[in-house]
Amino acid sequence: MSDMEKAVQGGEEFMAEQAAHVAEVAAAEEARRAAAEAAAAYPRTYDAHTRMVDETNGHEFIGTQWGFNTEAEALAKIDGARAANKYVMYANPDGGSYVNELSANDFRVNIED
């Protein structure tokens, strides 16, 4: 029997079962998404251990791009890198910034490994 036949014969009961099933699947997907997000590495890394060239001065280095949820975290990463004598690349030379703000919760910095 197809779902259409079940819907005609079961009416409201079938529709309630379908709605409950849809809600169950949606809840399971939300739980899966939340678990995946929680398990994701933080801070995020992009292009790890990649050859980079700072276009403002031609400095070439092997580095990683780091992504943070806040600008304060990105600035703290820069401070730590400088304390370790690591090169920090301009992310936004026109704006004179080492932090590239891609969205309200994605702040990126490029730092020498």
- What are the residue ranges spanned by the domains of the chain? 3-39, 44-112
Assess whether pLDDT exceeds 90 at residue 66. Answer: yes
φ, ψ of residue 89 to 5 degrees: the values are -90, 145
4-24 pLDDT, tens per residue?
776 677 778 878 888 898 999
The one-letter amino acid at 7:
A
13-17, 22-26, 87-91, 108-112: least confident range:
13-17
Q: Is 104 helix (H, G, I), strand (E, B) or coil?
A: coil
Average pLDDT, the chain: 88
The C-alpha atoms of residue 33 and residue 29 are separated, in whole angstroms, by: 6
pLDDT at 41: 82
61 closest CA partner among 97, 100, 111: 111
